Amino acid sequence: MNKPIYICGPTASGKSALAIELAIQLDGEIVNADAYQLYRGLEIISAAPSPSELAQAPHHLYGALQPHELCDAMQFREMARVKIDEIQDRGKLPIVTGGSGLYLKFLSHGPSPVPSGDETLRKELESESDEALADKLILIDPKGAAATNLKNRRYVIRALEICILSGRKMSDVKSDWKQKSEEVELHLQGGYLQWDRDELRARISLRVDQMLADGAIEEVAAIKNPSATCEKAIGVPQIQSYLSGTMDLDACRDKIVIATHQYAKRQRTWFGKEKWLTPCHVDHTTDIKKLASKLGQQLRID
């Protein structure tokens, strides 16, 4: 069975181009793992592949949702698993590409056993003093407390939430998850596109300018009743502010650029921790065909 290849990296790093070239060279089909490219009507804002790019290889889960629909990492995992299974049944290679770290993590590793927050419990914990919270964590999970900055109230509350909601020590939950992840990663393969930060920042600025020139404002204006998920797409809230008259166009452009730079920084941090990914150092001179060939030779281990 053809194990999926994951192509990850920050926004504007060239993931789509590399995925397409891999699909051409390795008889593959591409599965989207970008939270906002899932939405129809956000093609410009989300920098989705162009019609000419889509025609070069089979693509899946692009424009699969309406703007009013909600989506989360678990729902994405279920959608993507169906497509990956179908691709494998055809004897093709699934190539998963995107920059949404949490969506990719749910797909590659499965859902985390760490429970999400509980509003009622958090309010109860918030009512306690820093000292009381720290003492409680030390009593419940001494090992976890030793690894937690007890002066950071937010960290201590989160640690207590995990203990109380899971019924287990936080340190045990995280240790078990780490062990499981390491076992899963023995069977994962993928590449991580790495750019010089200044070069990537320049690419991001150019992309934002091109998006605005290509009709991003009109695209956002056409969206009716966007879901909370859809509204989180970088560019949507900024352009909505411009359309409402609370921000001029120059400020709108600058805020989109800044937000995208900040997002790219978070993506670099996220993917940098995924040691199973093969680093792919790229710049403006990189030959994508050669990079795809080299990466394909490194990763095809089935």
Domains defined for the chain, CATH in brackets: 5-111+182-299 (3.40.50.300), 119-173 (1.10.20)
The string of pLDDT tens digits covering residues 246-283 is 999 999 999 999 999 999 999 999 999 999 999 999 99
Residue 31's DSSP bridge partners are 60, 96
Q: 52, 225 in Cβ contact below 8 A?
A: no
Q: 25, 117 in Cβ contact below 8 A?
A: no
pLDDT of residue 298: 86
Q: Which amino acid is residue 47, in one-letter code?
A: A
Q: What is the DSSP letter of 232?
A: G
The string of pLDDT tens digits covering residues 92-102 is 999 999 999 99
Q: 118, 44 in Cβ contact below 8 A?
A: no
Q: 219, 41 in Cβ contact below 8 A?
A: yes
> In the sheet where 93-97 sits, what is the strand order?
59-60, 28-32, 93-97, 5-8, 189-194, 278-281
pLDDT of residue 294: 93
Distance CA 145, CA 142 (A): 5
Give the residue carrying structure tokens 């920084």: 265
pLDDT of residue 97: 97
Long-range contacts of 196-205 (CB under 8 A, 24+ apart): 196/283, 199/283, 199/284, 200/10, 200/12, 200/13, 200/264, 201/261, 201/264, 203/12, 203/13, 204/11, 204/12, 204/257, 204/260, 204/261, 204/264, 205/257
- Percent of the chain clearing pLDDT 70 (strictly above): 99
Task: List CB contacts of 89: < 8 A, sequence separation 6 or more.
Answer: none
Per-residue pLDDT of the chain (302 residues; tens, 9 = 90+): 689 999 999 999 999 999 999 999 999 999 999 999 999 999 999 999 999 999 999 999 999 999 999 999 999 999 999 999 999 999 999 999 999 999 999 999 999 888 888 889 999 999 999 999 999 999 999 999 999 999 999 999 999 999 999 999 999 999 999 999 999 999 999 999 999 999 999 999 999 999 999 999 999 999 999 999 999 999 999 999 999 999 999 999 999 999 999 999 999 999 999 999 999 999 999 999 999 999 988 886 44
The string of pLDDT tens digits covering residues 1-21 is 689 999 999 999 999 999 999
